[in-house]
Amino acid sequence: MQRCGIGYDVHRFAEGRPLILGGVEIPHDRGLIGHSDADALCHAIADAILGAMGDHDIGFYFPPGDEQWEGVSSLVILQEVRKLAEKKSAWIHNIDSTVIAEAPKIMPHAEAMKQAIAGALGLDVHQIGIKATTNEMMGFVGRQEGIAAMAIASIEMRDTGY
């Protein structure tokens, strides 16, 4: 059975933190704040995969109050989501995503992000799509208060009762 799911995540900027997106550290004067490494792109992808399986969201499996996940790389979260998918006989076909940020520029880092995400999910780099846009200086993204990301996952599930 072919299924798809969407994911969305947003994190605020904070001083003194590295900016991690798609598992890649991107030079910027601020990073994103969150319980893990606050990688909004990986979090959106994780939610898209979980949604495609009809499963709980990322907060269910990786709750913000759980010390086990504090500061962890979101690539580890993607690896764990991949394991959940395998347990449910779900094969990830592809991921498409969009990062919404006024700054920094995302596309110079897209290939490295694709490689990191593909590695975490056990996919070929060509199965990962990453795009970027701005919010045309509107809203919290436009005011450079944070970054948002959206993703869609296409999967195939064997009929196992899920």
CATH number for the domain spanning 122: value is: 3.30.1330.50
**Full domain range(s) for residue 41:** 2-157
- Residue segments in the chain with a per-residue pLDDT below the cut of 50: none
The pLDDT value given to residue 65: 87
Q: For residue 45, give the DSSP letter.
A: H
Dihedral angle of Cα 110, 63, 32, 104, to the nearest 10 degrees: 20
Cα angle value 76/146/103 (rounded, 5°): 100
The pLDDT value given to residue 161: 59
The domain tally of the chain equals: 1
- Asked if residue 40 belongs to a domain, the reply is yes
Residue 155: Cβ within 10 Å count? 22
The pLDDT value given to residue 160: 59
The pLDDT value given to residue 64: 87
- Asked if residue 116 belongs to a domain, the reply is yes
- Asked if residue 162 belongs to a domain, the reply is no
